Amino acid sequence: MLRKMTILLLAFTFVGNAATVKDFSAKDLEGKTWRLDSLLGARLTIISFWSTTCAPCKEELKLLDSLYEVYADSGLSVIAVNTDTQRRLPQVEPMVIAQGWDFKVLVDPDGDLMRIFKVGPIPHSFYIKPDKELLKSVIGYTKKDASTIITTILNAVHGNYSSQDG
């Protein structure tokens, strides 16, 4: 238990009305450990929780990947956190390769990050500013959400965080 707490540490600290995401660490598909600080984009970081059996998750990540390809050089970072169990984990990397996703994929087979982020239904995405302030948290995805996601990303890469919906 203490090992898990040492490996995965994330908390939201509330300052006024804003929540700040504290640093954490988690492993990618190759077993490399990453910290939030090394994953943050210069303008916006999106952390999206997903699983291999979640169709809306895959649709959202397809959109996020297309936006990441365009806006990564403008400061966008996309992190996909897979929530499949240890039993389903071998299916994750082949799916990521088949989808051609270029963003970082982390794995959370024991649900530690899900509990810390208080993730319920997926997809669940967290939009984080470069100073680690939580811009917004979004549960679910349908195609009509695409325009809001695009607008949020476009505003953020231009440094505009004031008109975001939460």
- Name the domain count of the chain: 1
pTM attached to this predicted model: 0.87
Give the CATH number for residue 106: 3.40.30.10
User: Which position has the higher pLDDT, 5 or 80?
Assistant: 80
**Could you tell me the pLDDT band of residue 11, with boundaries at 50, 70 and 90?**
very low
Residue 143 lies in a domain: yes
Residue range of the domain that includes 88 = 23-157
Q: Based on the number of CB atoms within 10 Å of its own CB, is 134 exposed (0-12), middle (13-18) or buried (19 or more)?
A: middle
What is the pLDDT averaged over residues 129-157?
94
CA-derived radius of gyration, the chain: 15
